[in-house]
Each structure stands twice: as C-alpha cells, then as structure tokens.
Amino acid sequence: AVGYGILYLLGWQDLSREQLQEFMLSTGWVAPLVYIVISFIQVTLVPIPAAITILAGNYVFGPWAAFAYSYIGTLIGGMFAFWLGKWFGKPFVNWITGSQEETDTWLQKLKGKENVLLFFMFLFPFFPDDLLCSVAGILPISWLGFFLMLVVTRATSAGGTLLFMSGEFIPFEGWGLIVLGVVAVVGIAAFIVCFKHADAVNQWYDT
C-alpha cells in the first residue's frame, strides 16, 4: 500500500521504461545518484520491476555503468530491507507481506532450507525479491551469510537482465535461444543439487 501510494504521488502508477528514462535524463549530472536511489527504493518501498529499472539504466548510462549503479542500489536496498526485518521483526514483515498468514506461508516454505531456497529465489526472476529480503530478516540467517548471498545474486540478476533482455548482447532468436536454454538447464540442475544437500549448505553458512 505504501509503495503504491508513493507511485501515485510521483505519478508512476503504470511506470514504463521510457518514463523512467526521461525522468533520469531530466535530472542532469545527478542522474547516476538518482538511478542508485531508484534502485534502492525499488527493493525497499516502491514496487517497480527490476527489469524496468535496469533496462532504463542501460539506455541512459550504457550497460557497464547501468550494471554498477543498479548493483550498488539493489545491494544496499536488500541489506536495508533485511535490517528492517531484523529490527522490527514479524509485525513489520506481516505489514510488508500483507498478512500474518502470508508471512507464515513463506516461513513454512523456507523452513530448514532457507539459505538454498532464498539464494535461488533471488537468482531466478520469478520471485518477489523485495518482500523476501524482509522475510529473510526473521529467518535464522546471519548478516554475513545474507550479504554474501546478495553479492552473488544481485550481480547475476543485473547482469542477466542486461545480457538476455536488452537484446544488445544475446538475441531473442537463433543461437540466443540456445544460450538461454543452456543457462536455464544449468540453473535448474544447480538448484536440484543444492536442494538435495540443503542441510550441508545451511551448515556451511552457519560456520
């Protein structure tokens, strides 16, 4: 609700990539800082899809700068959301998820395999990263463990979006589809192996 309220006040209820690009270009020399802030709040408060912010950044700054700025913003934002979950506890997470029942559902799904499941949920573009960062705050995950998780997954998320969704590096046809298929198969295989050895992975994280 708060995220939508902020979008409404900014006039961004149905924010497009083009609108975000125009906004950043209008900010002049502070555009890099503005982009980092947008990437930060995208994880913590405002529900802007990551693909929109990353691709808009690619248009404004180019792929390397967009990757760096997005990485900085989402990494800090993820750690801040994790801190909010740690500091304010389950009542705050209930507010973020929308209900205690929703929070309990996530906790049940992640129980005992939180490090493995969270890592791959952050890695794959099908899960609510912003929500899960706050949920992680009430799970038995250390600050260092969560930070290392974000260091890897934020990089792969930004890099993967630029590689596979911008159309500038890997095409949406021909050999590009083959590369995408191989990456998907490798990712699924890695998830299966890690899931089978989730207890060992959790134990490694705890050391």
- The reported pTM is 0.78
Q: Are 39 and 73 in contact (CB under 8 A)?
A: yes
pLDDT at 207: 56
86 Cβ contact list (under 8 Å, min separation 6): 137, 138
Please tell me the predicted confidence (pLDDT) of residue 3.
47
Q: Which two tokens stand for residue 27?
A: 């900010």
**Tokens 């503005």 found at:** 34
pLDDT tens string, the chain, 207 residues long: the values are 444 444 545 555 456 777 788 888 888 899 999 999 888 887 776 667 777 888 889 999 998 999 999 999 999 999 999 999 999 888 888 888 888 898 898 888 888 788 888 888 887 766 777 788 889 999 988 898 899 999 998 888 888 888 877 666 676 666 666 776 776 677 677 666 655 655 666 666 555
| Cβ proximity of 85 and 138 under 8 Å | yes
Tell me, what amino acid is at 46? V
pLDDT value, residue 158: 85
Nearest alpha-carbon partner for 49 in 25, 74, 24, 72: 74
Transcribe 68-124 into DSSP letters: HHHHHHHHHHHHHHHHHHHHHHHHHHHHHHSSHHHHHHHHHHHTT-HHHHHHHHHHS
Q: Distance between CA 146 and CA 160 in Å, rounded? A: 20
122 neighbors 72 (Cβ within 8 angstroms): no
